[in-house]
Chains A and B, each alone.
Chain A
Amino acid sequence: MRRYSTAGYVMAAGRILLGVVFLYAAYTKLRSSFLLFAMAIDAYKLIPESAAVAVAHVLPWVELAVGIALIAGILPRVTTISASALMAVFFTAMVHAYQPSLKEGQQISCGCFGLGEPISGWTLARDGTLLAVSLALTVAAFWATRRKREGGALATGVALPEKS
């Protein structure tokens, strides 16, 4: 049976949490017309309308795949890097669109989990935290792979360079 250290449990919890968030985000978008999500992306005014439509078609499926892979622990380095890249893009777009001088009632919709949630200090803090979690998971995934390789190298008797 596979044993996890405390850090391993924390990382597994983080992976599942992030996976659930991605799954929920995908669900809120896929249950409605993709055009609604296209309108939300277009509202950011960062990309042309045709690109917003293309992104609205593809992104919910990418979120779904990343969510499943995170929960299942498939290809940890690839999935955590993908999650971090997505979170970094979302967070940057939100920071770009957020206007601190405006009240919450005047901000554009975040579009994170469907529509109707304006960008606010809370949404920025939430997405910032999720970005931090995904980055930590990415570092952990690479660290674990390295440890595994080192362990594998020791187990197979391959000599490792001595520490100076």
Chain B
Amino acid sequence: MRGWRGVTASVAAFALLAGTAWAAGKQSRAHARAASAAAEEGPPDKSMGSRNAPIVLEVFSDYSCPVCKLFYERAIRPMLETYVAEGKVYLIHRDFPLKGVIGHEHSREAAEYANAAARIGRFQEVDAALYDKQEVWTRGGSPDAKVDAIVASVLTPREMKQVRELVQSHKMDTYIESDTALGNSRGVRATPTIYITANGKTDILPANLSYSLLKRFLDEQLQK
């Protein structure tokens, strides 16, 4: 009797484990399929928040630029947790890597990885990692201090493989160039250049702004 109970329990445990593994595998396969399907689709989505938000913030940025990092830390990060999460602000990232500027040698590479991550739906994590570790990868040097390593630290090996494939295929180049061309057509000359559209009016925000003033401005626009 005891033997039968043990066998039944073992079979049940095995079935449970097998079922869980199958479900996880199915989810993972579905995720991989969705990611590879996304990889074949149009421009990578480098936006955050609701498209129907009353305020749209469009940031032309260079991942190597210290003021862009400052703007990310002072304004974008607190906004992500509040205005963006609450559907009040829609954030759009545009790549504008500066050329021929000392300290910006890896800007383009970082933008390629960010676009590839956006393609597989992991832009927000990679965007944050690139700004958080800007001092590390802009200096370069050891393999751990390269853009690839920084991006790998926030993605799964499977996601990283996809990102590397996209970067190596140079499929993302066209999207970086189209962002840069858009910036040039609008007269962007500095990074970050921040356009804010609210109540049908578009203005430019200064880069090294104080979050308390930005918050007052956002609240003022939301009340109109």
**Contact across chains for B190 and A115 when beta carbons are under 8 A apart:** no
Instruction: With A35-B220, A49-B213, A105-B101 as known contacts, state yes or no: A118 contacts B204, CB within 8 Å.
Output: no
* B206→A43 contact, CB < 8 A: yes
Contact with B along A102-119 (1 / 0, CB 8 A): 011111110100111110
Asked whether any CB of chain A lies closer than 8 Å to the CB of B210, the reply is yes
Q: 8 Å CB contacts to B: which residues of A112-164?
A: 114-118
Query: Using Cβ atoms and an 8 Å threshold, which residues of chain B touch A35?
Result: 213, 216-217, 220
Q: Are B205 and A108 within 8 A (Cβ)?
A: no
Q: A38 near B: Cβ within 8 Å?
A: yes
Chain B residues near A33: list those with CB within 8 A: 203, 217, 220-221
Q: Given the known inter-chain contacts A103-B101, A115-B206, please indicate yes or no for A36 contacting B190, CB distance below 8 A.
A: no
Q: Determine the chain A residues whose CB is within 8 A of the CB of B101 once the complex forms.
A: 103, 105-106
Interface residues of B in 71-123 (CB under 8 A from A): 98, 101
Contact residues in B for A5 (Cβ distance below 8 Å):
none
Question: Is A6's CB within 8 Å of the partner chain B?
Answer: no
CA distance A33 to B214 in the complex (A): 11
Minimum CB–CB distance from B205 to chain A (whole Å) comes to 6
| B187 cross-chain contacts in A, Cβ below 8 A | 116
Total B residues in contact with A, Cβ cutoff 8 Å = 27
Report A32-72 residues with CB < 8 Å from chain B CB.
32-33, 35-36, 38-40, 42-43, 45, 49, 52-53
- A35-B220, A42-B209, A43-B209 known; A106-B204 Cβ under 8 A: no
Q: CB-CB < 8 A to B62: which residues of A?
A: 105
User: In the docked arrangement, what's the CA distance between A103 and B67, Å?
Assistant: 13
Q: How distant is the Cα of A43 from the Cα of B205 in the complex, in angstroms?
A: 10
The answer to whether A39 touches B67, judged by C-beta atoms less than 8 angstroms apart, is no
A118 contact set on B, CB distance < 8 A: 189-190
Whether A49 lies near B191 (C-beta < 8 A) is no
- Residues of chain B within 8 A (CB-CB) of A106 are 65-67, 101, 190-191
A38 to B65, CA, bound (A): 24
Could you say which residues of chain B place their CB within 8 Å of the CB of A115? 203-206
Bound CA span A109–B66, Å: 15
Minimum distance in angstroms from B32 CB to a CB of chain A: 39
- Asked if A32 meets B203 with Cβ closer than 8 Å, knowing A39-B210, A49-B212, the reply is yes
Q: What are 29 A-B contacts with C-beta separation under 8 Å? A: A32-B203, A33-B203, A33-B220, A35-B216, A35-B217, A36-B205, A38-B213, A39-B206, A39-B210, A39-B213, A42-B209, A43-B206, A43-B207, A43-B209, A49-B210, A52-B213, A104-B189, A105-B62, A105-B98, A105-B191, A107-B190, A108-B208, A109-B190, A109-B206, A114-B203, A115-B203, A115-B204, A118-B189, A118-B190
List of 4 A-B pairs having minimum Cβ-Cβ separation, nearest first? A116-B204, A115-B204, A35-B217, A43-B206
- B: residues with CB less than 8 A from A are 62, 65-67, 98, 101, 187, 189-191, 193, 201, 203-210, 212-214, 216-217, 220-221
